[in-house]
Amino acid sequence: MCPLMSLVETIIHNYNSISEIPILFVKAFTMNLPVALLAQLLYIGPLVRKIFKKTKKYW
């Protein structure tokens, strides 16, 4: 998810300078990856597991 969203963000915000997109993509990806990884491990993953455990009894 992080690489795809970093690429989309890079293309949307820098569509005038196509030659710089690979460099800007690598920069955006390296900045987004730590935040996305920590969010997944600390907040989103546990929240989704808790929701699925509570809704599992309804299946």
**Radius of gyration in angstroms for the set of CA atoms belonging to the chain, rounded to a whole number:** 17
Of the pLDDT bands very low, low, confident and very high (cuts 50, 70, 90), residue 1 is: confident
Query: What pLDDT digit, counting tens, does each position of 3-57 carry?
Result: 999 999 999 998 888 899 999 999 999 999 999 999 999 999 999 999 999 998 7
Amino acid at 29: F
Alpha carbons 8 and 23: distance in angstroms, whole number: 14
Domain count, the chain: 1
Q: What is the pLDDT of residue 22?
A: 93
In the block, tokens 């990806």 appear at 29
Q: Can you give the residue range of the structural domain that contains 35?
A: 2-58
DSSP 56: G
